[in-house]
Homo-oligomer: A and B are copies of this chain.
Amino acid sequence: MNTKVFELSFQDSTHNQSQVSSHEIKVADTKNKSLQVLEADKTPEQATFNLSSYLSERQALVEGALECSIAVVYPEKIYEAMRYSLLAGGKRLRPILCLAGCELSGGTVEMAMPTACALEMLHTMSLIHDDLPAMDNDDYRRGKLTNHKVYGEDIAILAGDGLLAYAFEFILVQTKGVRSEQLLQVVAKLSHAVAATGLVGGQVVDLESEGLKNINLETLNFIHTHKTGALLEASVVTGALLMGANEEVLQRLSRYAHNIGLAFQIIDDVLDITATAEQLGKTAGKDLQAQKATYPSLLGIEESRYQAKKLVEEAKAELAPFGEKAIPLMAIADYITARTH
């Protein structure tokens, strides 16, 4: 099964995001009016919150930090390979969720940026290894040749290993103004989210399920909550852990992230059936053709939509006690069910 990357499409063009200027953000705004929180029952802050601008701005910040995160030194090839995939674009949702989780807990973007970058390194590692011939055997990702097509399989394996190992050092060396106890919890959380208890375990069940027709809902949930869900959950939660958030906050953010991750996956499955290829920007009906177990194939389209909506509502309910501080995470949750591609 090809790796599904949990990402929000909030801009039409895929220009170099580290170069996003205020002008470009403005352009993006006018193109994405639908992303704005415009419902009548929102507070003035919510009504004026523009998700598109927020995401573009954060994405540019993250791109800038990622750009500086790995220098090219001898032996150059491995550093170039790591940078090739790390800087290959993408919406940087995990870093953005981490920054938002930290700010919600009273922390700053600066404080969370090293962890945010580490999350993207870990995510990138999983993509490089998933694309390998022995795994999904993909030649392209985001319109660019995959790592092993450019650098060879051996270097691609090592680039993944290098990113995985480096992510932890990066957090520990770069983070300023966070207590040691909190950093330990962040590292342990990320380690758990990547290991067999997290995305590695999800990928294993996904591989095992390939070609099987009688996958049940429990297995499908396991795949998604581990393969993509674990790192998404860790993204929001580590942001809060950096600030030493209490157990209730951590639990609420954990359930929020769990729900939006699963809702995204369900909507993704639904769109694969209902959206046109033009809307989707990729072949529609791919899952059906591959006879892949999906939420619509197990629950039907209407029930799937209902479940996604319910998950998003529950996600937002978890954030209710945080008031205005939760606006960005609320808007991200809302966008999931609203999207049409």
Contacts and interface: CB of A to CB of B under 8 A. Distances in A.
Interface of A: 75, 77-79, 82, 125-126, 129, 132-135, 152-155, 157-158, 160-162, 164-169, 172-173, 180-181, 183-184, 187-188, 191-192, 194-198, 200-201, 203-205, 207-208
A286 B162 CA distance: 30
Given A134-B157, A154-B134, A154-B207, A78 B162 contact: no
A129 B75 CA distance: 19
A204 B158 contact: yes
29 contacts: A75-B201, A78-B196, A79-B196, A82-B196, A125-B161, A126-B161, A129-B157, A129-B161, A132-B134, A133-B134, A134-B153, A135-B154, A135-B157, A155-B207, A157-B157, A158-B196, A161-B161, A162-B200, A165-B195, A166-B195, A166-B197, A172-B187, A172-B188, A172-B191, A180-B181, A180-B183, A180-B184, A183-B184, A187-B187
Contact of A168 (B161, B180, B191): B191
A203 B188 CA distance: 27
A170 to B, nearest CB: 8
Contacts of A161: 125-126, 129, 160-161, 164, 194, 200
A19 to B, nearest CB: 27
B196 A168 contact: no
Contact of A184 (B126, B165, B172): B172
A184 to B, nearest CB: 5
A235 to B, nearest CB: 16
A200 B158 contact: yes
Nearest to A132: B157
Given A164-B164, A194-B165, A195-B166, A204 B135 contact: no
A222 to B, nearest CB: 8
B155 A168 contact: no
Please give me the 9 A-B residue pairs with the lowest Cβ-Cβ distance, nearest first: A134-B153, A169-B191, A165-B194, A180-B180, A165-B195, A166-B195, A168-B191, A172-B188, A162-B196
Nearest to A205: B75
A229 to B, nearest CB: 15
Contacts of A207: 154-155
User: Which residue of A125, A160, A162 has the most chain B CB atoms within 10 A of its CB atom?
Assistant: A162
User: Which residue of A82, A166, A204 has the most chain B CB atoms within 10 A of its CB atom?
Assistant: A204
A172 B184 CA distance: 7
Nearest to A170: B191
A188 B162 contact: no
Given A78-B200, A135-B154, A169-B192, 11 more contacts: A75-B205, A126-B161, A129-B158, A134-B152, A161-B194, A161-B200, A162-B201, A168-B168, A168-B188, A168-B191, A180-B180
Contact of A208 (B77, B166, B187): B77
Contacts of A152: 134
A161 B161 CA distance: 7
Contacts of A192: 169
B162 A195 contact: yes
A67 to B, nearest CB: 17
A124 to B, nearest CB: 13
